[in-house]
Amino acid sequence: MQIREDTEPQQSAPLDWKAIRTRLEGERGAGYWRSLEQLADEPAFAEFVEAEFPSIAPQMDRRRFLQVMGASMAMAGLAGCSEPEKGVPYVVQPEKIIPGEAQWYATTVTFAGYAQPVLGRTHVGRPTKLEGNPDHPLSQGASTAIIQAAILQLYDPDRSQAPRFKGVDTTWDGFQLDASRLAERLDQQRGRGLHLLFGASSSPTLRRQLEELLQRWPEAQLYRHEPFEGDHYQAAERAFGRAVETHYRFEAAEWVLSFEHDWLGVGPRELPHALGWGERKRRAAKGDGEARLLVVESVPTLTGAKASERQRIEPEALQAYLQALAAALGEGEGPTQALPDERQRWIEAVARELKARAGRCLITAGERTPVAIQAAVHRLNQRLGNVGHTLSYSEPVVWLEAGGQRLGDLPALVDAIRDDQVEALLMLECNPVNTAPADLELESMLDQVPLRVHAGLYYDETAAYCHWHLPLTHNLDGWNDARAADGSVCLGQPLVRTFYSSRTLSEVLALLQGDLTPDGRAELRKTWQSLDENAWRQALELGFIADTALPPLTVEAAPASWDAEPTPADGLTLRFLPDPSVWDGRLANLGWLQELPKPISKLTWDNVIGVAPRLAEAYGLANGDMVRVTLDRRVVIGPVWIMPGHAERTLSLYAGYGRTRGGRVADRLGYDLAPLRTAADPWLRRGAKLEKTGEFMPLATTQSHHMPQGKEVIKSEPREEAYRKVATEPLYLFEQAKTLYPPTPPKEPVWGMTIDLDQCIGCNACVVACQAENNIPVVGKEQVAVGRNMHWLRVDHYYKGDPDEPESSAFQPVPCMQCEQAPCEVGCPVNATVHGPDGLNEQIYNRCIGTRTCASYCPYKVRRFNWFDWTGDDEPSIQHQRNPNVTVRSRGVMEKCTYCIQRISEARIAARIEDRPIADGEVQTACQQSCPTQAIVFGDLSDPGARVREGRDTQRHYALLEELGTRPKTTYLGLVDLPNIVEDKS
């Protein structure tokens, strides 16, 4: 039995912008805020925040409330009455597998062609968790949200499980027969008519195979299509005359100036960028130089949110900013479009500071900015002497040619189809039907191809347009290789036997050329036959081949040549961006990422059309209002979201949604932006019209959930004060100095956590790592909308200043505070939440009866209640992913962060066996381990030398809502404020 509740969010009216700006001019303008509704002091918002149970309190009287409570408790009791599944024990236990003891294997997953080196944890042969490879310099044990979610994709029940011919399941033998006939025909034609389309790849094995294929069939044609790769290789060709890879060394850059470049945001090079910037911030905190980030952008990004200064611009003004900077640095004569005086002074001040730090600064431009902009940035970095210090160049990591043939692009393939040159088309590990710009009309073009073959993880939109669909193995259950961002070769070994009747991409290519028994491992070994068996085994154990990073190249940039200024167009500018959670849609079927609050907006389960506050005010728009965006008779309809700091005459549209064959999670979510994109202008278009349709879509966002009310939720200090030592009062019993008794060390460590808000970049890696480690379920859009998301860790996003152009942003991870004086322990009527000997606030599930009193008493609102049995009906494959060392909770119990107590227990057992204390850093929580900037530090607070104690004696150390006297063991290091540049020079 389940109770259906009317929990649909109500439509909101347009915001009172006059009230918002009036309040910002007053006393409240100096503080941080989280949502525009909060600034407007809307009664409905206040009612939502103040309700103990926001999902039901505004809609139920006391009688109905008690009925729901009683029903939820009854369902909790019934959950234990189901017949348990019976497992089959080993007849003969495999060697080296000890139940309860995890095994780790080095392997790799790929994202947009780049290797992400990882360690895979397995329990009795089941992969359950991924961590960054600590031995690889571009990982150092950290990871990203997308890396963490790769383990879920391995177990996705919607993965393709067998070959299909015209939509009907068949066998590999059937394809082998067709492949043999095709090969015979191609041998006669020297490969004429064969065209292959790939997603981006850096695999040396695939490149070797394609070169062998071209030797056999020299007239075959190769193409590549990576939807949001950008134009950085084309920009390098314009600047240097050849395509090169740009490697940023943010750890060495004391000043960074970025133009429309979200290098801290999601992407294939996200991890090394975050690691480098985190290292730069740590060095600056110790007095080794500076760490100042300046951003010029039109749409709010993670990089812009972490900038010490952010300049909001319209995309049309970008070239003028670069020209003004180039002129101030001695390159060129300045912009033809004059900048406002205030912005011109800012650019000139920035140029002076960059010249003063030549060789210690860095200028970057986004991959999806105009080619002329990126080429000019290459020239300016060279002029400042940054090459070889804060950036370097190498051969491209992702290969752009094979066998001497330059790979074409998607428009070139469409032209070949139109000219009847394509007899057989193989689309391998890509989904162009879903991601191609609509003006290419790829679907109708494909109908002209006599034989179409698709290979991929899913039977997706492209597979449905093909004769043959071939299922590919996942990176974690097949052999593969790829290059990481530095060019080093990473090896992927399977963590588990292949689940389905699938093949690796190298096996598919071998099968195409007549190999009747393709073997992925043998193909990999053939590529690296120069390694003897010992070196090969060492490389597999390490996860990568040592000393294979691409060497730096010496290149010389040509003087900047600017494109003509765009013709002014009436209407609005459109920017097309990948989604910060599901990218271009390839990850859209992963519930972890769909329910992950997007870093800036905290939206889940949808994509939106981003608008500026001023534009929303002019059109009378509220969050969730449906609008029609029209350009050249093509239309996209979607919900709007008001984004503080957004360019006023620009709309941001996000990819990854509007899927029709993405899987049961991905399908029918959001809108598809493809109709408005063109092959000639895939990133930005001008002249669009915006209309309000009169309809409304409820959106699920966590931005206004669990908003703490305190005097210093976000603390910031000027740089000269932030690191000043202060006298600290004892917070915990073991720190008490005045006593009549001799000091006695605690029997157990006293675990605690410090979170550095200045280091935190809001990337959400910690949230997904916690979800993977602790078996946290996905609940869906409707439940998130009413405040029932189950994440044990949330990352709150705060703004400061005017919504039109906030002066700063802050991200605050909020797990359980593990209070010494925990209100939840006082409130629990059945003693289900108790204080452990090592200071942890422990939750005993089999005592909990679901009164939710502890959640009412918790001022931080970090506890979650299982309203329904979210995991009982999960597919068997999903159940195999779960961590066996963590209880899988059912309905009717409270749950929260436990500091990964299972990891603490493992370390405690190991230390007792070896008769030693637990070493500092031996226990790492899942959130700490994944954090690329090391913003989260965990350890024993009773150890004076522990890393967790660093910074606790400085001015910026504080506890959240410390005025309540809860004495939390999770505390924060506040932001470090840097003075504005122009003010420095005035």
821 shares its domain with 884: yes
Closest CA to 959 of 703, 704, 721, 708: 708
- Alpha-carbon 159 to chain mean position: 22
> H/E element holding 796?
strand 794-800
**Are both 388 and 341 inside the same structural domain?**
yes
Structural contact between residues 352 and 985, judged by C-beta atoms closer than 8 angstroms: yes
Higher pLDDT, 335 or 269: 269
Strand partners, 970: 753
Do 828 and 962 reside in the same domain of the chain?
Answer: yes
Element (H, E) at 273: helix 270-285
Strands 361-365 and 221-224: unpaired
Q: Are 384 and 299 part of one and the same domain?
A: yes
What is the structure's pLDDT at 598? 94
Q: Is the pLDDT of residue 11 over 90?
A: no
Question: Do 798 and 33 contact (CB within 8 A), yes or no?
Answer: yes
Residues 778-822: tens digit of each pLDDT = 988 988 888 888 999 999 999 988 888 998 899 999 999 998 888
> What strands lie across the sheet with 808-814, from one edge to the other?
32-33, 794-800, 808-814
| Tokens 């389960």 -> residue | 605
Residue closest to 901 by CA, chosen among 849, 836, 950, 857 = 836
The answer to whether residue 153 sits within a structural domain is: no
pLDDT, position 333: 79
Q: What is the pLDDT of residue 30?
A: 53
Instruction: Report the run of H or E that residue 983 belongs to, with start and end.
Output: helix 981-985
pLDDT of residue 655: 94
Tens digits of residue pLDDT in 395-428: 999 999 988 889 999 999 999 999 999 999 999 9
The Cα 196–Cα 504 span in angstroms is: 16
pLDDT tens across 965-982, in order? 888 999 999 999 888 887
Band of pLDDT at residue 741, cut at 50, 70 and 90:
low
What is the number of domains present in the chain? 4
In this prediction, residue 63 carries a pLDDT of 45
Query: Closest by alpha carbon to 875, among 499, 496, 594, 472?
Result: 499
CATH code for the domain in which residue 787 is found: 3.30.70.20
- Yes or no: say if 307 and 280 are a contact pair by the CB < 8 Å rule: no
605 Rama class: left (phi>0) / alpha (psi -120 to 50) / beta:
left
Residues 749 and 836 in one domain: yes
Task: Evaluate if residue 60 carries a pLDDT over 60.
Answer: no
- As a whole number of angstroms, the distance between CA 959 and CA 818 comes to 12
pLDDT band (50, 70, 90) for residue 953: confident
Q: Measured between alpha carbons, how far is 978 from 625 in angstroms, rounded to an integer? A: 38
* Euclidean distance between the first and the last CA atom of the chain, given in angstroms as a whole number: 70
Whether residues 712 and 849 fall in one domain: yes
pLDDT tens figures, 153-178: 999 989 999 999 998 999 998 899 88
pTM over 0.75: yes
Q: What does the alpha-carbon distance between residue 516 and residue 806 come to, in Å, rounded to a whole number?
A: 62
- Tell me whether residue 106 is in a domain: no
Dihedral sign, Cα of residue 579, residue 584, residue 587, residue 590: positive
* pLDDT(66) > 60: no
pLDDT of residue 81: 35
Residue of 798, 956, 724 lying closest to 306 (CA atoms): 798
What string of DSSP letters covers 629-679?
A: EEETTEEEEEEEEE-TT--TTEEEEE-S---SSS-TTTTT-S---GGG--S
Strands 700-701 and 751-756: unpaired
Q: Tell how far CA 890 is from the center of its chain.
A: 28
- Choose the weakest-confidence range: 396-405, 612-621, 873-882, 925-934: 873-882
Statement to judge: residues 414 and 319 lie in one domain: no
740 pLDDT higher than 60: no
Average of pLDDT values for 676-685?
93
Residue 255 lies in a domain: yes
DSSP, collapsed to helix, strand or coil, labels residue 30 as helix
CATH, residue 604: 2.40.40.20
Do 668 and 712 lie in a common domain?
Answer: no
Residue 922 lies in a domain: yes
Please check whether residue 72 lies inside any domain of the structure.
no
pLDDT for the residue 497: 86
Residue 884's pLDDT is what? 85
pLDDT of 631 strictly over 80: yes
Look at residue 91 in the predicted model and tell me its pLDDT: 47
Structural domain includes residue 34 = yes
What percent of the chain is predicted at pLDDT more than 90?
60
pLDDT reported for residue 100:
67
Is 472 in contact with 507 (CB distance < 8 Å)? no
Residue 45 near residue 54 (C-beta atoms within 8 A): no
Q: Are residues 671 and 717 in the same domain?
A: no
Distance CA 495, CA 480 (A): 12
Q: Which candidate, 505, 495, 415, places its Cα nearest to that of 201?
A: 505
Single-letter amino acid, residue 442: L
Q: CA-CA distance, 311 to 798, in Å (whole number)?
A: 18
Q: Where is average pLDDT lowest: 426-440, 598-612, 628-642, 858-872?
A: 858-872
Q: Tokens representing 186?
A: 């191609």
pLDDT in the model for residue 199: 94
Q: With respect to residue 100, please indicate whether it lies within any of the assigned structural domains.
A: no
Tell me the C-alpha distance between 684 and 667, whole Å.
26
Q: Which domain CATH number covers 273? A: 3.40.228.10
Structural domain span for residue 463: 165-229+399-473+505-515
| Residue 181 shares a structural domain with residue 198 | yes
Tell whether 219 is covered by a domain. yes
Q: How far apart are CA 127 and CA 900, in angstroms?
A: 18
CATH number of domain containing 433 = 3.40.50.740
237 lies in the same domain as 377: yes
The residue among 669, 701, 733 that closes a domain is 701
**Looking at the structure, do residues 738 and 693 belong to the same domain, yes or no?**
no
**No. of H helices and E strands in the chain?**
30, 41
Q: Look up residue 412 and give its two tokens.
A: 């070139």
* Boundary-marking domain end, from 394, 410, 445: 394
**Other CB atoms closer than 10 Å to residue 435's CB: what's the count?**
24
- Alpha helices in 546-658, H assignment, sequence order: 591-594, 613-619
* pLDDT at position 71: 38
pLDDT digits (tens, 9 = 90+) for 187-229: 999 999 999 999 999 999 999 999 999 999 999 999 999 999 9
- Which of 656, 686, 701 marks a domain boundary? 701
